Amino acid sequence: MIKLHNIMQAHQRLKPYVRRAPLVYSEALSVLTGAKIWLKLECRQPTGSFKVRGALNKLMSLDSEALASGVVTASAGNHGLGVAYAAAALGLTNVAVFVPQTAPAAKIAKLERFPIDLRLAGQTYDEAHQAAEAYVQETGATYIPAYDDPIVIAGAGTCGFEIISDLPDTDAI
C-alpha cells in the first residue's frame, strides 16, 4: 500500500528533475459540470506527460547492481519517454524501450532523440510487453512497469500532492 510518506519522499526526490506544473481554472468545464474544475498542466513536463514522475522515482530507487544490469520497459509512448528522459537525466546508458510498431510516429521520433536501445516489437502493446519480458530473461535487466508498481505509483502520486498543496480545498482528484 502506498502511504503519504512514500509520495512525499518521491516529491523530494523528483524536485530537481520535474516541473511543478501549474493548476489552471477551466471556466468551460466548470460550467459544463457544475463544479469548480482545475487542470494540472502536466503537458509542461520535459516529456509532455506526468508519466516521467513514476519512471524517475522507480529508476532513482534502484541500487547500483540493478542499474548496472540495465533497465527495460514497454510502452506505446508516454511511459517510454518518461523512462528515456529519466535515464538520460541520471546518466544511465543501458536502457531498452520496446514499443509496438503501431506506436504513433511522433512518439517514436521523440524516443529516437534519447540515447536508448529503441526496439519496435509486435503490433500491439501486449506484444511489445512480451518482447520486453523476454529481454529481461535474456539479459537480467530490470523491468520498469508503467503503472502496477508502488514506487511508480508514488511518483505519479506527486501530482496529487502538488494539487492538494496548491489548492487545499480540493474535493476530488
The CA distance from 74 to 145, in Å, is: 8
pLDDT of residue 23: 96
Q: What is the value of pTM for the model shown?
A: 0.92
The CATH label, of 2.60.120.40, 3.40.50.2300, 1.10.240.10, 3.40.50.1100, for the domain at 4-166 is 3.40.50.1100
pLDDT of residue 172: 82
**Which residues, given as ranges, of the chain have pLDDT below 50?**
none
Question: What is the SS3 assignment for 127?
Answer: helix
Q: At what angle do helices 51-61 and 150-166 cross, to 10 degrees?
A: 130
The sheet with strand 117-120 has its strands ordered as: 117-120, 95-99, 71-74, 142-143
Domain ranges of the chain: 4-166
Q: Is residue 160 within 8 Å of 43, Cβ to Cβ?
A: no
pLDDT of residue 77: 87
